[in-house]
Chains A and B, each alone.
Chain A
Amino acid sequence: SPRIQTDFGLVSLLFCTHRHDYCVLGAGPAGLQMGYFLSQTQRDYIILERNSGPGSFFNVYPRHRKLISINKVYTGRRNPEFNLRHDWNSLLSDRPDLLFKRVSTQLYPRADALPRYLSLFAEELGLRIKYGVDIGKIHVSEPAFHGGHGYRLTDQNGLEYTCGILLVCTGLWVPQEVNFFGSELVEGYESIPVDPEEYRGQAVLILGKGNSAFETAQSILGRASRIHLYSPSPVRLAWQTHYVGDLRAVNNELLDTYQLKSLDGLVEGGLEEIAIVRYDSEERNKSSRRKKHGSVEMKGRGQLYLTLDELLDNQNKTLAFSPMTLPGYHNDNFSLRQPYDRVIRCLGFRFNFSIFEGAASLLHSGMARGRLPAVTAWYEGKGTPGLFVLGTASHSRDYRSSAGGFIHGFRYTIRAVHWILEQRYHNRAWPTTKLQTTQLLSWLLRRVNEASGPYQMFGVLGDIVLLRGSHFEYLEEFPLQALAQFSTLSGHRVTKSGMLVLVMQYGLNRTDTLGSGRAESEWTWAWRSNFLHPVLYYYSTIPTEQEMKHRPAGWPLPRPKAIHHMIEDFLTEWDGPMSHIQPLRRFLEHCLQTDLRAFYAESCFRFSLTYREPPIFCRLGYLKKQGVIGNRKLWQHAREAGLMPTHHDSGTPKEDMSFQNYITKAAASVASGMNFHL
């Protein structure tokens, strides 16, 4: 693999300063996050941004200015790692005060807070950003860059930037459009007026049923007369699918007005098959005169009709409008038969593929109708080595399943990519924590109870435990889909002791989110848990690519040698000795084939003298002079439970001896008698 030499200083002098080991394209949340990690490892990097400040997307979007990423400031906890589970806007850094709550304490903050936060982040961490650089063309640089690809970027002034590694953090900002007859009559989310008064009394058809569609509907609900939402698939509710990209409850008032039959409604249908036709005043007069011919009545101020492409022949397309071309003419209870004042397109955004040329071209992912570039499990463009796609644009890996398209998800995948870059280009292995095996249980519980990365990026990032006998190495937040390439990407080996993977997962049973029986409480039923819960996979060797490919349907990983589900918990606190800890310990004991119980020093004393080798807890603690002594009260408890032997206590008063005497006498008499066999 190519290694970047550190003698760039001289080269840079010769070729002017526009040459960097790392170019980060875009100063949005993802670009700044990557910039932070590169600055932490003191890499030669530059962030290129066409606008004059960071996060410019948020200067415009969301149009109605309410962020729907949760900013929960009051969690009742002071654990900063845990709190990130409920802070969806902050970026990761080593500054405990550089969190989003500094700019807003609202649960759903104003969108302006985000660029403000990003400016603060960039400024306080001294990130190197060049504003006003609008990259229009990206080529593979020639000659090849240190054995691998390099990339050449050209800006609006023809200035060139040569980069060893290109990190594309440009987000999604090109509005997604659909072509149908009359689509030029449709307004776009990006340019609609946001003042509700502009919609007073109007009938509005919104194309799309995502958050931007509902956000738009919600803002005009009190002014518009009728709002219909139209798109191919039914609404997916985030609280049902656990996917934050689906419709969030914060925007869903229209569901109420629809279900309470209060004029609004949702309709499913293909976008390619429709057409929008305008009835202008000239036509209107004509048709009024011929009123007796048409069954379609024109009411209100409506001008735009939804119809079906198949109803328009080529001739009609030029003629534009006649009642016969409307579905209501053929089907008198057609849902969308009434005209609209406005048709608004809220179909989301797509990646800007246009700037990547030649060998630098990015492929389209099969996900999200080709709106996203195709990337590997470690976020490198497919076919573009050295070019990584980060941030929202990298969402094809976990589209509609996890949080990789959102700040609270991609902040972790970016960290993962950074470690992969460090290993590949600088020979620095993924950081691990090396701990004694006796600490495995409490370390896993620690992660399970506080870690934010696997919690937010459930099913995508998982912690890896490399078992090594009496110790283990703990590696955080590895991209699971890249597990087959683990050794190459992380720089660590798996020994014959095998490995564990800790993943947070939702259950598969998504039928009745609020119904009875939606949660399990018996730990033996943990595998049927529906809510987010920890799952441990045990492998004796790294799964192969084939095994990854053929993993059970719906599983993040292939069938392991053993699996353990920790029962979902209402409070997401997995620390119950019976329900959580002991079952986990027994699973680990099975994987490690060793007794992991804890013992008081007294028990260790006994085992150390009577066994060739005492249990691991005694070996690594007591025998290293670090036994847990306990006290009388605790020993008493353990003895009462039958777990520690009770000592023959010389202080016990000798009781009536008659029973014993009787037996002693009987023994003597039998002994003196004869050998008696039955």
Chain B
Amino acid sequence: MKSGSDLLKTFGTDTVFDVNAIVAHVLFTVLFDEVKSVETQEELRNIERAVKGRADIVLAQLPMLGLPEHRAVMEAAFVYGAKHQFVLTKGGSLERLGIEDPDSPGSHLWFLHCREVLRQSDPCQHTTLKKPLTTLNVYTFLQLMETPLVTEASVDPSDVKTVGSHLHAPLLFLFSQRETLALDRVTAETLGWRLRGEVAVVLIHRDSADVRTPVEYNAAYRLPAEGSVIKYFNLKSIEEVVNLFREDTVQEEEEDIDEDWAVLDVLDDEVVESVYRDRDVELDVGLVTELTSDTFSKAVQESNTAVVLFFVRWDAASLAVMQSFKEVADALEDIADVQLACVDCGEWTDVCSSQLIAAFPTVRMYWSGGLPHTYTGMLGTESLLKYIMLSLAAAPVLLSSSQEVQSFLQGDLFHTQATLSPTRVVGLLSSSQDSGWPMFEGAAQALRGETLLGLFADQQAEQWAKDHNVKLPAILVFRAPDSTIKAHSLQLSSTEQLVSDIQKLLLDTFPELTVENLPLYLELRKPLLLLFLGPEGDEEQGQGLDRRDAREELHRLADTSLLDTYVPCWVHLGRTPAGRAVLESYLGSIPQLPALVLSQLASGGEVFHFPSESPLNSDTVLQWLHRVERKEEQPAGLVLDEKWGPSVPFYDFLSIMDQEVPGYAAQKTPKMTKNMVGEKGSDEEPGHSNRTPSTKKHMPQQEVPTSHQHSEF
């Protein structure tokens, strides 16, 4: 293929086996800039992200190229390429749409409604082309996508001229009158969504004199066939109408479960939806004991340690946490000391009130001889398990000799717990008479379940302090990954201060950020210096930026005080895949890994990307940070500054009332009030004055109901 004297492309004879193949390939080449191709849904999402709010996507799945379907799509792209974003895929990896059956290799086409999406976080809704991929079908389909969901008209169905009439698409007419307009619009829109791409929906205003349809019908349709007549019928349910068209026009496809995507009754809350999908499994609490008003007090008094989950069944987060709680119960099955229990506050409201439960779910630990402790950590299996296990150790662990201190720090004492806790803390006091003692005891209670805290109040503590170059009172912090012990002198002022000091000292200088620990570091409210590392073996080599080097470079730097104004940290995209979406949001795409990013979350909201071509070492990083500070670097992206408003518009009952029953929801005018007094203000028997026996002798009840059918179901 040539343009002027330039050779554009050569085709192998195996690819251009017939006219379809030739047209398809030629168009494909010509339209190369406009038609994108994707292999993973990651890539598809990138495209979606790029066009959201601007354009819609036409996505075609073509298992083989050069077939008539390919040609049809390319021809459509030739016409509509400037309007819609065309995307081709081989298919098989687009589970996101929820339709693909990776085993069915057929050609399919979808229209992704991205243009109307206002917020990045919202998904694009989609419509499936239900007919074979022919040029005409694709053309009709795309035309229908452009027509409004519902057209409105004030003429008789036979006079309606809409896009549908020349598009070989069936037309569905719904009749509406002024009083029911709002609700009819909702119905029409629902139907519009359900039938989008197959049927054009027209709402006819019956109040118009031009409408000649008999009032006994509220709906009609006309099939696209030449000369077909309008058939009138009574719309009773949406399903019925949908089926009507399915039977009439579409034979090949079974009804699709995911078709309800766009209607109002789709759960849009990930926690609610995921719990709801398990509704067929009756809530089974497994090894967790269900407590009642009768058993609660006894259970929490008699067991050594009882961990109680307070929940309500209508709270999805509660039910999600219940899943984790059951897993914890399974893991602790053999530990006799711990009882896992739950209280359904929807039923045992008295228990929950007396326990002052003010949030669902609440996890609270009850132990013999101590005040109950409300768990304030992450509500997940691992975190809960760790909390419970660590709580089983004394708080504080009283250490009586230097050997014990040694073995406590090394994890030999409380071995089980020590393996769960990456940190251990020992408070050093000169004697048990020290005024710091009660503060340490309080702090140990407050930190119970969070870390292991030992207390060494002895003359030998002085020696430990001296060895570590600090003064008493002091604490020793042991950190598991690198087995270091660091000592810090303390100013003991209050228990709260001590707790917060210890919590700060427990923070890592160069942590691996995970879903579970991010909040600890965000609390510092400093810019994050994030090193994104790809999963092992997933990095492109040869750029001189080795993952281990980069991490160690930064670690060294983090241990100096040069990065004190930042939180240097790293994210392992294999272990924390959500980091990938973060990186994408920052930079628009996934750059070469490892990638170093400065995110000014708490200030300014700008994101800077350390140039991937530069070598990454202490000097280059510091220089880069200085340039950023001096505003000499261009931000590579921004932290999103959108407000989290309502996820969807609400259903405005007031305006529906106003339309359906004008005046029903209106405030009375003062004049009206006067008129209403006789009617509403008086409770007196209506009209009794003229019901004397002489005029009305025998009055049977007028308003006795006649029908006995209960329609609630």
Complex Cα distance, B601 from A621, in Å, reads 19
Closest to A531 in B: B712
Sample of 16 more A-B contacts, CB < 8 Å, known A79-B346, A270-B691, A582-B272: A265-B698, A270-B688, A433-B358, A450-B346, A513-B705, A515-B706, A519-B711, A524-B264, A547-B667, A550-B672, A551-B668, A553-B676, A625-B520, A627-B519, A641-B267, A643-B274
A1 within 8 Å of B (CB atoms): no
Partner among A77, A449, A519 whose Cβ is within 8 Å of the Cβ of B712: A519
Q: Is the CB of B265 within 8 A of A609?
A: no
B586 within 8 Å of A (CB atoms): yes
B92 within 8 Å of A (CB atoms): yes
Contacts of A266 in B (CB 8 A): 699, 701
Contacts of B493 in A (CB 8 A): none
Choose, from A28-36, A42-50, A592-600, the stretch at the interface: A592-600
B252 within 8 Å of A (CB atoms): no
Whole-angstrom distance between the Cβ of A30 and the nearest chain B Cβ? 21
Closest to B276 in A: A577
Choose, from B146-154, B191-199, B677-685, the stretch at the interface: B677-685
Q: Is the CB of A554 within 8 A of B314?
A: no
Contacts of A547 in B (CB 8 A): 667
Closest 10 CB pairs of A and B: A629-B380, A233-B685, A232-B688, A589-B646, A637-B274, A647-B577, A590-B650, A598-B271, A643-B270, A595-B644
The residue among A273, A527, A578 with the most chain B CB atoms within 10 A of its own CB is: A527
> What count of chain A residues pass the 8 Å CB interface test?
152
Partner among A327, A555, A644, A678 whose Cβ is within 8 Å of the Cβ of B693: A327
Closest to B668 in A: A550
Q: Is the CB of B654 within 8 A of A369?
A: no
Q: Is the CB of A550 within 8 A of B673?
A: yes
B239 within 8 Å of A (CB atoms): no
Partner among B264, B359, B645, B705 whose Cβ is within 8 Å of the Cβ of A435: B359
B468 within 8 Å of A (CB atoms): no
Choose, from B36-44, B242-250, B481-489, B552-560, the stretch at the interface: B36-44
Contacts of B676 in A (CB 8 A): 553
A178 within 8 Å of B (CB atoms): no
Whole-angstrom distance between the Cβ of A447 and the nearest chain B Cβ? 10
A429 within 8 Å of B (CB atoms): no
11 contacting pairs across A/B (C-beta < 8 A): A366-B681, A439-B358, A442-B315, A450-B346, A553-B680, A589-B646, A594-B645, A606-B581, A659-B37, A666-B29, A669-B10
B360 within 8 Å of A (CB atoms): yes
Contacts A514-B708, A601-B380, A641-B274 given; indicate if A78 touches B347 (C-beta within 8 A): yes
Q: Is the CB of B264 within 8 A of A648?
A: no
Complex Cα distance, B696 from A436, in Å, reads 62
A564 within 8 Å of B (CB atoms): yes
Q: Is the CB of A549 within 8 A of B673?
A: yes
B549 within 8 Å of A (CB atoms): no
Contacts A624-B376, A629-B324 given; indicate if A609 touches B518 (C-beta within 8 A): yes
Closest to B574 in A: A650
Q: Is the CB of B350 within 8 A of A80?
A: yes
**Which size bracket describes the interface of B in this complex?**
35 or more
Choose, from A6-14, A106-114, A313-321, A331-339, the stretch at the interface: A331-339
Complex Cα distance, B318 from A82, in Å, reads 21
- The number of inter-chain residue pairs (CB within 8 angstroms) is 426
Q: Is the CB of A599 within 8 A of B321?
A: no
B28 within 8 Å of A (CB atoms): yes
Whole-angstrom distance between the Cβ of B619 and the nearest chain A Cβ? 27
B686 within 8 Å of A (CB atoms): yes
Contacts of B30 in A (CB 8 A): 676, 678
Choose, from A128-136, A420-428, A610-618, the stretch at the interface: A610-618
Contacts of A103 in B (CB 8 A): none
Binary interface encoding of chain B residues 655-693 relative to chain A, with 1 for a CB under 8 A from any of its CBs, else 0: 011000001111111101100100111111110110111
Whole-angstrom distance between the Cβ of A439 and the nearest chain B Cβ? 5
Q: Is the CB of A603 within 8 A of B270?
A: yes
Whole-angstrom distance between the Cβ of B700 and the nearest chain A Cβ? 8
Q: Is the CB of B378 within 8 A of A435?
A: no
Contacts A577-B272, A603-B270, A643-B268 given; indicate if A512 touches B653 (C-beta within 8 A): no
Whole-angstrom distance between the Cβ of A132 and the nearest chain B Cβ? 37
B648 within 8 Å of A (CB atoms): yes
A602 within 8 Å of B (CB atoms): yes
Closest to B261 in A: A642
Q: Is the CB of B697 within 8 A of A399?
A: no
Which B residues from 1 to 58 make CB contacts under 8 A with A? 3, 6-10, 28-33, 37, 39-42, 45
Contacts A308-B692, A645-B581, A670-B9 given; indicate if A551 touches B711 (C-beta within 8 A): no
Closest to A619 in B: B644
Complex Cα distance, B519 from A627, in Å, reads 9
Q: Is the CB of B705 within 8 A of A674?
A: no
Which A residues from 637 to 660 make CB contacts under 8 A with B? 637-650, 652, 655-656, 659-660
A359 within 8 Å of B (CB atoms): no
Whole-angstrom distance between the Cβ of A339 and the nearest chain B Cβ? 15
B639 within 8 Å of A (CB atoms): yes
Q: Is the CB of B653 within 8 A of A565?
A: yes
Whole-angstrom distance between the Cβ of B621 and the nearest chain A Cβ? 20
Closest to B577 in A: A647
Contacts of A179 in B (CB 8 A): none
Q: Is the CB of A233 within 8 A of B670?
A: no
Closest to A601 in B: B515
Complex Cα distance, B312 from A450, in Å, reads 12
Which B residues from 559 to 597 make CB contacts under 8 A with A? 574, 576-578, 580-582, 585-586
Contacts of A637 in B (CB 8 A): 273-275, 277-278
Complex Cα distance, B93 from A652, in Å, reads 10
Whole-angstrom distance between the Cβ of B335 and the nearest chain A Cβ? 21
Complex Cα distance, B356 from A433, in Å, reads 10
Q: Is the CB of A593 within 8 A of B645?
A: yes
B323 within 8 Å of A (CB atoms): yes
Complex Cα distance, B435 from A299, in Å, reads 106
Binary interface encoding of chain B residues 72-84 relative to chain A, with 1 for a CB under 8 A from any of its CBs, else 0: 0000000000000
Q: Is the CB of A524 within 8 A of B186?
A: yes
B98 within 8 Å of A (CB atoms): yes
Contacts of A635 in B (CB 8 A): 274
The residue among A515, A610, A613 with the most chain B CB atoms within 10 A of its own CB is: A610
Complex Cα distance, B382 from A560, in Å, reads 47
Contacts of B383 in A (CB 8 A): 629
Q: Is the CB of B645 within 8 A of A445?
A: no
Contacts A234-B699, A598-B270, A674-B3 given; indicate if A400 touches B683 (C-beta within 8 A): yes
